[in-house]
């Protein structure tokens, strides 16, 4: 599995960044995005950036206290100051009911 790498700088998530990201996902399933110091070093900001990337890539996310729904074929996680995005072959659709 080929892992592609990109860097996110002080200009943040721009249209060109998203176009490059979508183009990279045509040839690979996993992307590592390094968040540079000039962008942010705040953990909460990195979480917001990850959520924004997933939303722009096509992942719909709804959350409430009782039901969480995930639809789409992208997932993401954060390790340090790196965001790892993965594109799945099939669309992910799951519901989790919390009591």
Structural domains present in the chain: 3-97 (3.30.110.60)
- The one-digit pLDDT tens for each residue of the chain (99 residues) are 789 999 999 999 999 999 999 899 888 999 999 999 999 999 999 999 999 999 888 755 444 333 334 446 888 999 999 999 998 876 555 554 344
Q: What is residue 44's predicted lDDT score, i.e. its pLDDT?
A: 94
Half-sphere exposure at residue 70, Cβ-oriented, CA atoms within 13 angstroms: 12
Question: CA–CA separation, 32 vs 69, rounded Å?
Answer: 25
């Amino acid at each position: 599995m080929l892992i592609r790498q990109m860097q996110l700088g002080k200009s943040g998530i721009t249209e060109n960044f998203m176009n490059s990201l979508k183009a990279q996902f045509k040839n690979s399933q996993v992307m590592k995005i390094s968040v540079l110091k000039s962008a942010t070093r705040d953990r909460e900001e990195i979480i917001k950036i990850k959520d924004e990337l997933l939303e722009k890539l096509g992942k719909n996310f709804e959350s409430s206290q009782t039901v969480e729904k995930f639809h789409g074929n992208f997932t993401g996680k954060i390790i340090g100051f790196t965001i790892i995005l993965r594109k799945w072959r099939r669309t992910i659709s799951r519901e989790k009911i919390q009591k």
